[in-house]
Structure 1
Amino acid sequence: MTQDVQPPSVADLTRDAPKNWGKWGPDDEVGSLNYLGPTEVLRGVAAVRQGRTFTLQVQIGAPGGDPIWPGRAQCTHVNLLDKGDYACGKGVEVPGHAEAADDMLIMYLQGSTQYDALGHVWCEDQLWNGYDAKTTARRMTKASVLPIAERGVVGRAVLIDIARHRGKRVLDRGETFDHTDLLAAAAVQGVDIEKRDILIIRTGWIGAFYEMGAAEFYRDFREPGLTYSRSLAQWFAEMEIPNLVTDTMANETTVDPVSGVMLPLHIALMRNLGVAFTEIAQLDALADDCAADGQYTFLYAAAPLKVVGGTGAPVNPIVVK
């Protein structure tokens, strides 16, 4: 898109893309996670070969700061009680004279590795499944993160290391790929992306935050990632992908380089198909291990915090190889 040409609305861009509205009834709030029934859980269990575990959440309150979407504030972590209180005679005495520490964390619910609520982003005043956008007022009463948290997410996952496939430690700013690139990378890895797999994609982007530092990371901010096309949305629909997990902040490139639209996959995949988005995952250690032993499928289990009416919530996903 040239700067003198206005991008289309995201609604117009995705108008002919597939939708799953009504597929699981008029009251559904978990979308494509409905694909993860007992059979899919057992597929995940069957993928376990070694009994080795990895956690995918970034640290919260790291000394050098945390990777968060531009414009959001870093978390505030405050000690409310520690040894200093007792040294000053301000600690509460209890029978037996035990002492304790206590603290408080103030943060954006999407300020760490997290699940988006299906109603987090919308267009034309309608959320996932056609719910009225007015239901987001003050507190989300439809398609919040709570139904996802109450349900939990368990199934077979496949890691596609697109950065390694392209011979890079980390993809370049704004570098894009689509489902055909994912399939090509999977073939090189010797793995199949199967129907109803939880799809995990590594770009190296979040890991780069800790290497280059915040100033360089946010300079000319343009994330690498998936880019929109109707064929990509159709592929997600036909593959019945329940959950997209990436080591980026938005699970897609920041601005679509063809249309000029910002974050169209939040509409095409999350709002229209009900695909659950897990963002800001730390995938480098898992990817290195998969490259070493050739096992790119495993059991994935995750449950975000049960925040009533939340637009998203932190999560620490676990994979078992």
Structure 2
Amino acid sequence: MAERWKTRPEGSNWGDFGPDDQIGRMNLLTPEIRRKAAEEIREGRAFCLSLPLDYPGSNKLTPYRHPPRFHHARRGPGHNYNYALSDVNEIFSDVISDDAVLLFTQYSTQWDALGHVGSMFDADGDGVAEKVYYNGYRAGVEIVGPDDAPAEDPGAGALGIENLAETAVQGRGVLVDLETPYGRARKMVGYDELMRALEAQGTGVETGDFLCLHTGFAELVLSMNRDPDGEVLANACAVLDGRDEALLRWIDDSGLVAICADNFAVEAYPSRPGETDRYPGLPLHNLCLFRLGIHLGELWNFAELASWLKAAGRSRFFLTAPPLRLPRAVGSPVTPVATV
């Protein structure tokens, strides 16, 4: 710890789970909390919480992220797809198809790894800010990009998504319906608005919970049939106000281990201007990924689950949502499952 950082960000938990911790607040999700979460399974019904991974469609909304692109290996005169094994041995009747895919890990329904967003921060205490990530891991040292030198083995050597995968990601989800009270017009949701929504549902968030936000955004994306309208989406649905200090304090105090939303970024981007000369453009990401080690899920599809829970008078469910166990990746597609 002393070698990686001398000062930690104000309000952070760096070092609290150990000097080399890479899963942050997932440490709070104990076996006992997970066992208790499983008591939410009463009907045995399951809901898929993922969009099709080729949504939102195109790269108009995310110019540096693209839809999946399929490729197929050559085999003989053709490809290893609809390939008849009789071409290898005349007595075989099998037909084989294999896929390869170029997949941008954060294009659609996804988890952010703790290595996804860091900050310029003076971790050495020498008056010079460095590129730093959760628990003091450094850009160019543990999190190595193609522009870092040397970059023989690029990627997140620490804080990669495989660390989250290894926790198995199972626990209690608490779904907050923000669509019913606030509709599908753009609405900045701070502490007061979130508390009113929780109170209206008669529920709360406890240590080890996954906070899940249903705004209607994913349904709007699906209705656009892979041709998203950026202007419409930029002015649609509720979104957390990451500049609301009371909301940030509540996230810290609540003991939640992750926030999962059906929209882009969970919070408003760009956020409201800060009060200092330099501030994070994604203040909630800064709090969660950089300071507290709280994972973020984006573009989840809660529509069917939200409808069922509302009809049943419930807000809680058992969540299973491991990402790909892909070493050195800073994000991952995910197919979350809610079981009620």
Q: Indicate the TM-score class for this superposition, using the shorter chain for normalisation.
A: 0.7 to 0.9
2:196 corresponds in structure 1 to 184
**1:263 corresponds to 2:255:** no
C-alpha distance in structure 2 between counterparts of 1:68 and 1:289, whole Å: 33
Deviation by residue 1:8-53 (Cα, 9 ceiling, x = unmatched): xxxxxxx65x211111011000000001001210121112221111
**1:61 corresponds to 2:58:** no
* Residues 258, 157 of structure 1: alpha-carbon distance in 2 compared, 3 angstrom cutoff: same
Q: Pairwise mapping of residues 78-227 of structure 1 onto structure 2 (< 5 A)?
A: 78=71, 80-83=79-82, 85-86=83-84, 92-93=88-89, 95-124=91-120, 125-134=131-140, 135-137=142-144, 138-166=154-182, 168=183, 170-172=184-186, 175-213=187-225, 215-219=227-231, 222=234, 224-227=238-241
C-alpha distance in structure 1 between counterparts of 2:214 and 2:333, whole Å: 19
Deviation by residue 1:235-255 (Cα, 9 ceiling, x = unmatched): 111111101100012111111
* 1:20 aligned counterpart, secondary structure: coil
Structure 2 unpaired stretches of 5+: 1-8, 73-78, 121-130, 145-153
C-alpha distance in structure 1 between counterparts of 2:223 and 2:166, whole Å: 36
C-alpha distance in structure 1 between counterparts of 2:305 and 2:260, whole Å: 13
C-alpha distance in structure 1 between counterparts of 2:285 and 2:209, whole Å: 19
The partner residue of 1:309 within 298, 316, 328 is: 328
C-alpha distance in structure 2 between counterparts of 1:225 and 1:91, whole Å: 56
Structure 1 unpaired stretches of 5+: 1-14
* Residues 165, 193 of structure 1: alpha-carbon distance in 2 compared, 3 angstrom cutoff: farther
C-alpha distance in structure 2 between counterparts of 1:94 and 1:117, whole Å: 49
2:313 corresponds in structure 1 to 294
Contact 1:145–1:307 at 8 Å: present in 2 too?
yes
Shift of residue 133, structure 1, vs aligned partner: 1.8
Shift of residue 300, structure 1, vs aligned partner: 0.9
* 2:26 aligned counterpart, secondary structure: helix
Quick check: which one's helix share is greater?
A: 1
* 2:15 aligned counterpart, secondary structure: coil
Shift of residue 231, structure 1, vs aligned partner: 2.0
C-alpha distance in structure 1 between counterparts of 2:109 and 2:164, whole Å: 15
2:133 alignment partner AA: L
C-alpha distance in structure 2 between counterparts of 1:290 and 1:248, whole Å: 20
* 1:285 aligned counterpart, secondary structure: helix
2:148 corresponds in structure 1 to none
1:6 corresponds in structure 2 to none
The alignment's TM-score, normalised by the length of structure 2, stands at: 0.80
The alignment's TM-score, normalised by the length of structure 1, stands at: 0.85
C-alpha distance in structure 2 between counterparts of 1:41 and 1:96, whole Å: 48
Contact 2:219–2:303 at 8 Å: present in 1 too?
yes
1:70 alignment partner AA: T
* Residues 252, 68 of structure 1: alpha-carbon distance in 2 compared, 3 angstrom cutoff: farther
The partner residue of 2:68 within 68, 72, 75 is: 75
* 2:96 aligned counterpart, secondary structure: coil
C-alpha distance in structure 2 between counterparts of 1:77 and 1:61, whole Å: 11
1:252 corresponds in structure 2 to 267
Contact 1:69–1:249 at 8 Å: present in 2 too?
no
C-alpha distance in structure 1 between counterparts of 2:86 and 2:66, whole Å: 32
* Residues 299, 68 of structure 1: alpha-carbon distance in 2 compared, 3 angstrom cutoff: farther
CA RMSD across the alignment: 2.4
Q: Give the length in aligned residue pairs.
A: 298
Shift of residue 276, structure 1, vs aligned partner: 0.8
Contact 1:191–1:296 at 8 Å: present in 2 too?
yes
